[in-house]
Amino acid sequence: MRPAPTILHLDMDAFYASAEQAAKPSLRGKAVVVGGLGPRGVVATASYEARVLGVHSAMPTAQARRLAPNAAYLVPRFQLYRSVSEQVMELLGRLSPLVEPLSLDEAFVDLEAGGAADDSASARRTGERLRTAIRAVTGLSGSVGLAGSKMLAKIASEQAKPDGLVLIEPGTERELLAPMPVRTLPGVGPATGDHLRRAGMTTVHDLAEAGEDELVRLVGKAHGRGLYRMALGLDDRPVVAERDAKSVSVEDTFDVDLHDRVRVRAEVERLAVRCVERLRAAQRSGRTVVLKVRRYDFSTLTRSETLRGPTDDPTVVREAAARLLEAVDTTGGVRLLGVGVTGLADFTQEDLFAQAADARELAERAREPEPEPERQAPESGTEGTGPAEEEPESAEQLAARRWPAGHDVHHAAHGHGWVQGSGVGRVTVRFEEPGGPVGRVRTFRIDDPELTPADPLPLVRDPVDYSSWPASLPKSRSGPVSAAGEESRP
């Protein structure tokens, strides 16, 4: 535990939904839900306006529609989210060499390692200046937690949401944690929380009072010891700049169960190629190929094959995944398929000429239109959607795939816009840009030659030059601070 609150945790506020609201003037202040829109789609992020209505991440989209029928439902635009994330992470990197990203919108920063803070006052100034910089560069808000440990910094950022800053003074940890529910602590999920509740422990104070021996008896040696330390506010985990990935994988959930064995194999091969694309993007190779199959009855099977050496060869991975599929019974139907590679290394043991040929094949496949391959971490809880039916897709299904709701388009006469929806041979587009006025809505044929998909526009047209950050950035105004260290907000 540090004597000063020099560990910072940043969590962008409702990141995907906030980015969509910033990009689309007509959605500002309105309920926005981002995620899979098919029958089996899952909410990735909901705006705060949608959360008031009961919508939250990991909720089935169908349930969200019942709770918020008038919300805007959009397909994720990962190209935009990655771009904004890179801007935020660059700002964090200017504060310290020790930045530990947890996802696109969340990271720990060791301020002491970068000389950005050494006490409470300097930590607070740095946190406020960071929030100002993020808004100036991206147009979005982020919540900041500051504490002497990673656990408490993350708890502080949760308390700061939305768009705030909370600093936990060292020495006040136990007093602050005591009344909080046990689910506040990392690693205490619904099952563990229910088990502790049945034992009469509902608050962190209850855990501290129970003692280490009792917690070990209840939840096991490793978990019990860790739980007791956290209840006392103890956490000595360092901020780690490089978090080495243990695996690379992709998966798709299908709107309708797949029964055709040929179709299932084709999907597995497609996923294998996408997996290798990610593997090569990370400049890694892997030795073990893993196949994941979730069947019609929600039973999930995994099969793996270990190769003679690490590879990033799409043919090798594809053929290994196909062999694994032969050992799985799919006659009842398949609702999800996934292909992954583990045992990662930074070298390969394949024939270089074969790799060159496969690289050309990979490049050709990459030029083919594909659904967005990004998959959320379990804490984000989003599932993508794959092809909807085994029969040839209808015109409506093709339109939905070509014109996803929320995605960018460009019209030769009307300029940049975004898809509000498609159906009955038509696509509806609202023409507006980030930072501009609410735009007009127009409808076109789905095959209109003047309408084409487009790349996202920057959320801020003329961002502040932060090349000299953090020295030149002006300090933000600080409001009154509560006993817990939270800046008061209207």
Q: Are 382 and 76 in contact (CB under 8 A)?
A: yes
483 Cβ contact partners less than 8 Å away, ≥ 6 residues apart: none
**Residue spans of alpha helices (H) in 291-427:** 314-326, 352-366, 395-402
- In the chain, the largest separation of any two C-alpha atoms, in whole Å, equals 72
- DSSP string covering 80-111: HHHHHHHHHHHHHHHH-S-EEEEETTEEEEET
Catalytic residue among 20, 49, 100, 106: 106
Q: Are 107 and 10 in contact (CB under 8 A)?
A: yes
Written as six digits, the tokens of 28 are: 């500002």
**CA geometry: angle 11, 17, 23, nearest 5 deg:** 110
The residue written with tokens 């959607």 in the block is 385
Active site residue 106: yes
SS3 413: coil
Q: Are 371 and 384 in contact (CB under 8 A)?
A: yes
The answer to whether the Cα torsion of 208, 209, 211, 217 is positive or negative is negative
Rounded to the nearest angstrom, the gap between the alpha carbon of residue 134 and the centroid of all alpha carbons in its chain is 18
Active site residues: 106
